[in-house]
Amino acid sequence: METSANGFRLHIDIPMPLSEADAAVVCAAVIARLVDTSFLAELRSRGVPQLNYRLGHDSDRQKSNYLLKDSRGHVSNKKCVVVCGADEGEG
């Protein structure tokens, strides 16, 4: 199985016409379903090293991540990461 950085990526777009706080709650619920250790181990066995995700906004043309903010409330452009086959992810 090819694992190069130039391979395919699964993009899932979930529209959330919610407040930022409510969207973050829904995002956490979706990610919680994906971080099942047996599911992550299966992905790892198929050559998937990690899941990357972010919470964006349609009006923001940058790739901002509204799940990661600094102490001044500025959003990050880094994705949250869950390492497949590991017990914990970064985020």
Is 91 within the bounds of a domain?
A: no
pLDDT digits (tens, 9 = 90+) for 46-91: 999 999 999 999 888 788 999 999 999 999 999 999 999 754 444 4
pLDDT value for 43: 94
Domain residue limits at 65: 20-83
How many domains would you assign to the chain?
Answer: 1
Task: Provide the whole-model pTM.
Answer: 0.79
The verdict on residue 64 lying in a domain is yes
Residue 68 counted as domain residue: yes
The reply to whether 2 falls in a domain is no
Is 62 part of any domain? yes
DSSP-assigned letters across all residues of 43-91: HHHTT--EEEE----TT--S--EEEEE-TTSPEESPPEEEETTSS--B-
pLDDT band at 44 (very low <50, low <70, confident <90, very high): very high
